[in-house]
Structure 1
Amino acid sequence: MRKVTASGQTVDEAVQSALRQLNISEDQAQVEVIDEGKKGILGLFGSKPAIVKVTQKENPVEKIKKYVKNIVNEFDAQFEIETNVVQNEVMIQLSGEKIALLIGKRGQTLNALQYLAQLAMHQYSDKYYSVTIDAEGYRERRKETLISLAERLADRASKTKKDVKIEPMPSYERKVIHTALQKRSDIATDSQGDEPNRYVVIKPK
């Protein structure tokens, strides 16, 4: 972690000097005032410079990458981790020969890892970031499976005129169900229950 001790006539001047030396902006810095300084008589006699210690904050995206890496290293396998950031969205891609270990049954292990990473990100950054963790294209395959499931169960609800409940799933998977069926005029969808057991109900109109 890079840090610099700098001085100046005022605290602000000292901070700006340190920022220039580190080549970072103020929002990337943690400032500790060691001495506020003293102007002295007429700004000359008995003056004392202000002294600050400025430490560069670790990038929250790098911190979350390390966090995820520490977790997956507990598995008896080698995995590669890549991160991509678009505005406030952090996408973490995992790959490896035993990737199924990280996905788990119906993505439960992957979802748990993503949940933990999102909680950690809230602690690492003052700015809001959403975190998505994928494993060799699993999320897209899962999405296609959910859309197919939604259509099939919607047909059943429409035909039998009875509500159809889908097993509990994370909010972003429920959103896939709602979005897939929102244009159908013969059924409606609703989320019920409490997290983490919230589920989608398909209702015939």
Structure 2
Amino acid sequence: MTTERAVEDLSLEELEADGDLAADYIEGLLDIADLDGDIDIEVANGRVYVSVTGGDEELDRLATADAVQALQDLARLAVQARAGRFSRLIVDIGGSRDARANELTRMVDAAVAQIAAGRSEVELEPMSSYERKLVHDEVAERGYHSESRGEGRDRRLVISKR
């Protein structure tokens, strides 16, 4: 059984435990940085979503894509160290994931418009695997085709007609 397969087969209890481990880790980081924030944990679609919210302006400044990605990577490593398995948890700070999802939808809108105007394909900016998944789903829902190209931090989606 591969690690990825094992992740997909985690029970609700294991996912919730991963969420608790990630929340404890993030809470510790917030305490060290002297930042206030509330942490919410949700399990949906085989993933754990850990959201940090609060009225702290300093916390809001951390809601950049790079900072959220870095916090997510650190939280995943902390969960892996404690649970002994990879976690596909998703971290959000102050609604930044929803804002990014809206931005990605606008990118798909623009790409589809360009294809409708005659372009054979449209290449999007590099993005994380989670963002690429969101875009793949959005593109498929609209009846178009998407594929990932490139490696590492330069991996991006190319959208075309089916």
Alignment TM-score, normalising by the size of structure 1:
0.59
**1:67 paired to 2:25:** yes
Which residue, 98, 101, 108 being the options, matches 2:61?
101
Asked if structure 1 preserves the Cα contact closer than 8 Å seen for 2:147 and 2:157, the reply is yes
1:139 equivalent to 2:97? Answer: yes
Match of 2:72 among 114, 125, 133: 114
* Cα distance between partner residues in 1 of 2:134 and 2:118: 23
Alpha-carbon distance in 1 for matches of 2:123, 2:30: 34
Cα deviation, residue 86, structure 1: 6.1
Query: In the alignment, what sits opposite 2:39?
Result: 81
Unpaired runs of at least 5, structure 2:
1-16
**Preserved CA contact (<8 Å) 2:60 2:94:** no
Cα offset for 1:94? 0.6
- Name whichever structure is richer in strand by fraction: 1
Q: CA deviation at 1:90?
A: 2.7
Give the distance between the partners of 1:95 and 1:77, measured in 2 at CA.
Answer: 11
Larger radius of gyration: 1
Q: Percent identity?
A: 24
RCO (CA 8 Å, sep 6+): is it higher in 1 or 2? 2
Aligned Cα root-mean-square deviation (Å): 2.7
CA distance in 1, matches of 2:68, 2:120: 33
**Residue 193 in 1 paired to residue 156 in 2?**
no
Distance 2:158 2:53 in 1: 34
* Count of equivalent residues: 144
Q: Deviation at 1:109?
A: 0.9
Structure number with the higher helix fraction is 2
Kindly provide the CA deviation profile for residues 97-141 of structure 1, in whole angstroms up to 9, marking residues without a partner as x. 22322211xx22112211221122122114554311122333223
Which amino acid in the other structure matches residue 150 of structure 1? Answer: V
